[in-house]
Amino acid sequence: MKFAIIGGDMRQAKLAELLAEDGHEVSAFAMEKITLAQGVLQCASVKEAMDGAECVILPLPVIGKEGVLNTPLSRETHMLGEIFENVNDDQLLCAGRIDKNTAGLAEKSGIMLTDYFAREELAVSNAMVTAEGALQLIMEEMPISVCGAKCLVIGFGRIGKVLAHRLAGLRAQVTVSARKYSDIAWIKAWGYTPERTEKLNGRLGDYDIIVNTVPSRILNEEQLKQVKKGCLCLDLASKPGGMDFAAASKLGVKAVWALGLPGEVAPVTSGAIIRDTIYNILNEREEHM
């Protein structure tokens, strides 16, 4: 197959190289700040890159901070319109974390966009890498070993589950909080100490490490006042996050908000996760044809 990779960070760069390693024809555009491995054709225009490609892969997130295509590896600014002008009906156009504006623009242009970030397999695999990144941060930030440390994981979703298992594997004393009774039962079944997320207030003073995975404010000033001296409060949740960082700073609580860990700690694995997800999308498309 021919793939075109347009913009993105090191994850998309690695994705391009991995697709080429799999024997595909791969062209890339808006990554001129780096040199990609042999086998990836770095193009001077979107048109050249997309020409003849059966699958076009846009960044994750597709739109960057400036409201234009997310191209941190390019010196130029690129607009979505450039891509939409060059796409043809036979091409599969995939993008990550598609926002409302992008979806609206695509619809208006009669273009079908597939969000690879919305795929559960990608979210689960990302959770695995995020949990590893969290462990790395914990080890870097803490003067004590994980073995024996009293850890609270807030939330028992994808990241909460994997992180709890990893911490337990390192012989930490793991408590996990959740709001669903079924999750509480699973937390017990796995051998962790259960807590109710909504009842954490007044029960936070005993931990060496608290990791939040709930994308909603859980640790306000009142709760942060309760954590013991030296406790690391690590927030993994996307914006608006789960902790009041201004209050943490005022109280002298060691608080870290670590976002984008997959791309930061394991860009190659993150590229491979996107590649596998794209292959799954292509397989499903073929099955439905």
Among 146, 149, 204, 214, binds ligand NAP (CB under 6 A): 214
CB 218 within 8 A of CB 160: no
Q: Which of 127, 174, 184, 256 touches ligand NAP by CB under 6 A?
A: 127
Alpha carbons within 13 A on the beta-carbon side of 214: 20
Q: Which stretch binds ligand NAP (CB under 6 A): 8-16, 57-65, 124-132, 226-234?
A: 124-132
Question: If binding is defined by CB under 6 A, does position 61 make contact with ligand NAP?
Answer: no
Distance CA 160, CA 175 (A): 11
Helices (H), the chain: 10-21, 46-50, 80-86, 100-108, 120-141, 158-169, 181-189, 221-224, 245-251, 261-265, 267-287
Stretch that binds ligand NAP, among 33-41, 92-100, 236-244, 272-280 (CB under 6 A): 236-244
Q: Minimal distance in Å, beta carbon 162 to ligand NAP?
A: 8
Which residues, in sequence order, are CB contacts of 94 under 8 Å at separation 6+?
55, 56, 57, 58, 113, 114, 115, 116, 278, 281
Binding mask 150-169 for ligand NAP (x = CB under 6 A): -----xxxxxx---------
- Provide the 10 A C-beta neighbour count for residue 147: 10
Closest approach, Cβ 191 to ligand NAP, in A, equals 18
Give yes or no for residue 126 binding ligand NAP (CB under 6 A).
yes
255 touching ligand NAP, by CB under 6 A: no
Q: Which residue's C-beta sits nearest to ligand NAP? A: 157
Structure tokens at 99: 């926002």
Under the rule (CB under 6 A), what is the footprint of ligand NAP? 123, 126-127, 130, 155-160, 178-180, 197, 213-216, 236-238, 258-262
